[in-house]
Structures are given as C-alpha cells and as structure tokens.
A and B are shown apart, each in its own frame.
Chain A
C-alpha cells in the first residue's frame, strides 16, 4: 500500500507545483487563460515524459554535473518536434506564451528530479510516478488558469460568461503570484500529509547537491 502511495504521490501529496514548488513560472505568467494552459500542458507533458524516459538510459556512473547537462540537451532536442507540432495544434498561442514554452524544457523535474528520484526507480514504477507528477502539474495549471480567466476577463475558454465581478489584476503576473500562494495554502490545509517545512524542488535543498 505504502509503495503504491509513493508512486502515486506526485498527483496529490507530492504535487510538483503545490508541494514541490517546481515549474511555477509558467503558471504565474502564462496561466491566465485556458488556451495558454492547454498549450503549456501539452508542452510540459510531452517534453517531460519523453526527456525523463530517454534520460533513464544514461549510465548512472556519470557524475551529477554531466548527467545534468545530458538531460538538458535531451530536453532541448525533444523540444524541437514538440514545438513544431504545437504550431499546428495551437496556432497563435505559442507566440503569446513566448519564452515560457522553451523554458518548460529546463524544468526541475527533468534537470534535478530525474536523477534524484525517477531514475532510482524501476522502469515501470518510474513511468507511473512520472505520469502522476505530470498529471499533478496539468490539473493545477488547468484549475488556476480557469479561475484566472473567469475572474480576470469574464470568459471561459474564450467564451464570454455572465460574470458580475472582474478582478483584472488576476490576469497579471502579480495576480498569479497571489492566487498560487493562496492555492498552496488551501492545498496544505486540505492535504494534511504535506509538511509545512516542505521545501522547493520536491524536497531538494542546496545542501543536497
């Protein structure tokens, strides 16, 4: 049971965004409409899954530094076809997202957690755990962007809804900071197993490196 929990924890108790404080920049800046979030979810899911899976074949004997560089290079190579496909699926959205689309390729899950967490598991467990972590990010991204789009612009998926109250600041990065901070607090009060001293990087600290 505990083993199953540790694999699935990326979805709830070990959520990459709300617990690990990873990949938060795209949510804060670009997660203000559902269309933006769908494009980022696609990019994050595809790049992270493929990069970590391919990276699992890197010999473990190599030093941490070299493995970090190789993981980043793999992610930047995976990024190229993902971006080309995204231009077909999300025309116009990629320009709006700008550099954040590329920055997804250097997220903490690929660069750090792949070595410290995922590649220490068996291939099967790694795949399940990785999918849970990705889904955890996807859900948070979608929920935060839906709330921001509704409250900031009075739209849902680009369609105008009958809303009486607008908080236009929520569409700005500072609105993203505040809303994500409040969401983290709410999440911690709902999920009791998350410790208050949890630290960024999925439990990483400077002294861990």
Chain B
C-alpha cells in the first residue's frame, strides 16, 4: 500500500504529465531508449542541484526583486552546466563527445527551469524540502520517459496513420496518460 501511495504521489508530482514541462526535451531524446534514460538522469541531476541553489537564492533575495529570480536561476543552472561538463571532460575524455550532448540538451529547458519555479512556490524555506522536491521532479521525468518509451515504437510504427505517426500520436498518448493522472489526484 505504501508503494502504491508513493507511486501516486510521484505521478502527481510529475511535471510532464501535470504541467507539460520538458516536453520538447522529452521528444528530442525520444529517439532511443539510451538517449531517453541518460537525458532523464541528467535532468534529475540539474533539478536536484538546481533546487539547492534556488533555496539559497530565495532565502537571500528580497521580495521586491522577484523579477530577477529568473536571471539568478539561469546563472545557477549555468554554473552547474559548466561544472558538469568539466567533470565529464576530466573523468573520461574519450567518451566526452558522447556524454556532453546529454548535458547540452538537459541544461536550459522548461523541465529544469520549471522545476525550480514550481519547487520555490511549493516548498517551505528549508533546504531538505527543496532538494527532495527537485529530486522528485527528476524522478518524475524519468517515470514519464519510461511511460513514453513503452509506447514509442508502436506510436511510430506503420500501423499509425502517416500524418499522426510519431509526435502527434505521442501527444495524444501523453494526453490520455495525463487525464488518468488527473483522475487519481
């Protein structure tokens, strides 16, 4: 019962299915399971570490300077972006050509930035809650990636009418899953 309730909570916190955040990135990565998994994992790293930065910014920034929050969040994500690329470069230079593309795709998109804003609006002023919410959003992205992967081949197969094959069919499919998630909440 605990696992079921946790699963429902994860679905409810899923930013793709409930808020359509990160769809473009999901579709860019949908070409292969490997791409989808690595992109989802990289996005989880960004959302988790980014939430840590968002908590610090929200704690220090006065309310009247609310509008520069976007700029500060972008600087935080930019710093994580550079650090991740540097770590990947020095950890394995041979594979850097392959691994860097996941960082490029995952850094600045609605999934990551949307998570930071959503987490900031929902979480209390404690670091643990922020980081947990950021990690949950990342896991939610992985879950949505798996849900899409499960149907990807069929939605791109010749059984689907040519004009709906691929991404239009995926949008309708995600819409039906999203409807089911709304019914659960």
Contacts and interface: CB of A to CB of B under 8 A. Distances in A.
A99 B111 CA distance: 12
A205 B28 contact: yes
Interface stretch (A101-109, A125-133, A151-159): A101-109
Contact of A174 (B77, B110, B179): B179
A79 B27 CA distance: 26
Query: A-side binding surface: helix, strand, loop or mixed?
Result: helix
Contacts of B100: 209
Contacts of B166: 196-198
Contacts of B169: 181, 185
A183 to B, nearest CB: 8
B31 A176 contact: no
B168 A188 contact: yes
A68 B107 contact: yes
Q: How large is the interface on B (under 10, 10 to 19, 20 to 34, 35 or more residues)?
A: 35 or more
Q: How large is the interface on A (under 10, 10 to 19, 20 to 34, 35 or more residues)?
A: 35 or more
Interface in A165-200: 169, 172-178, 180-182, 184-186, 188-189, 196-200
B101 A28 contact: no
A196 B165 CA distance: 7
B39 interface: yes
Contacts of A207: 101
Given A73-B75, A181-B175, A184-B168, 10 more contacts: A23-B24, A68-B81, A69-B108, A76-B71, A178-B175, A181-B171, A200-B28, A200-B167, A201-B28, A208-B101
Interface of A: 21-25, 28-29, 64-65, 68-69, 72-73, 75-77, 79-80, 83-84, 99, 102-103, 105-108, 111, 169, 172-178, 180-182, 184-186, 188-189, 196-201, 204-209
